[in-house]
A = this chain, B = another copy of it.
Amino acid sequence: MEYILLIDTSDEKGLVYNVSKILFEYGLNIENNSEYVDKEVNKFFMRTVLSGEVDESELLADIKEILPNDAHVKLSTKQKKDIVILATKETHCLGDILIRYHSGELKANIKAVVANHETLKDLVEKFDIPFVCVSHEGLSREDHEQKVIEAIKEFDYELIVLAKYMRILTPTFVKTFPKQILNIHHSFLPAFIGANPYKQAFQRGVKLIGATAHYVTDDLDEGPIIAQDIVRVDHTFSWQNMRDAGRNVEKVVLSNALNLLLKDKVFIYGNKTVVL
């Protein structure tokens, strides 16, 4: 059996010693071990891939005992996680995830796609995945969101993936799924605020267009960054060409970030991540 042990705690002397002592006593093999200490805020992070046979709750209890009180400990297995995807009309991010799902590369069960338009229904159902349309028309933001939350909760999920879901989320939504929401966001150097950032980027003549995948912890486009990348553009790109180039990098970055989450490689602390 293979386990992933995740520890996130305030740092103190002897942590590695004490944890590795327990793992040794349980006869577990350390297949892979990554640690990170942030001395400035005195935080310790550890991700250990273990093989062996143990009583999981006993092991967890023993580890918790020797850790500081604020410690978070999790024992995960390498099985596929359940996810629900939220989308609107755009195909690029969702399509990339669907293809990975179909090929078996994605370490996740897509339980449903929830969207506020019917546009993607045809594509999603090709892959035998439930598609739920929750139209926002005629509803207040709060009422619509409530219906989306209900729609999600009809399914099993460990993670909500916003694959270009073009609705602003309220704090209620975010609090309903704490540290469970992954979002992808175009990003620019410099930043452009307001409507149609691609037009603004075009008018400023940017040479790079980026994408940022992040946890949603507060408002939609903020939160701890998980992965980022850029693509090069030049003056021959119309703003539509820039948008298309941006879509390419969005889909790659979202899929990379999703893979990191599915492998339990990402810790959150403060407004940042540690990727081990």
Contacts and interface: CB of A to CB of B under 8 A. Distances in A.
20 contacts: A16-B16, A16-B20, A16-B33, A17-B17, A17-B20, A32-B39, A91-B103, A92-B103, A95-B103, A96-B96, A105-B244, A187-B189, A189-B210, A189-B212, A204-B224, A205-B271, A207-B228, A208-B229, A230-B230, A235-B274
Contacts of A236: 36
Contacts of A224: 204-205
Contact of A30 (B37, B95, B96, B212): B37
Contacts of A127: 126
A170 B135 CA distance: 52
A99 interface: yes
A99 B103 contact: no
A207 to B, nearest CB: 4
Nearest to A14: B24
Interface of A: 13-14, 16-17, 20-21, 23-24, 29-37, 39, 91-92, 95-96, 98-99, 102-103, 105, 123, 126-127, 187-191, 202-208, 210, 212, 224-230, 232, 234-236, 244, 248, 252, 255-256, 270-275
The 4 closest A-B pairs by CB, nearest first: A205-B272, A95-B99, A191-B191, A17-B20
A267 B235 CA distance: 11
A211 to B, nearest CB: 9
A197 to B, nearest CB: 11
Given A33-B35, A208-B210, 6 more contacts: A30-B37, A92-B99, A95-B99, A126-B127, A203-B270, A235-B274
A273 B235 contact: yes
Contacts of A123: 102
A16 B14 CA distance: 12
Contacts of A99: 91-92, 95-96, 98-99
A228 B189 contact: yes
A2 to B, nearest CB: 12
A184 to B, nearest CB: 13
Contact of A91 (B102, B202, B208, B225): B102
A235 B275 contact: yes
A24 B13 contact: yes
Contacts of A190: 187, 191, 212
A20 B17 CA distance: 5
A32 B226 CA distance: 22
B37 A33 contact: yes
Given A96-B99, A189-B210, A230-B208, A17 B21 contact: yes
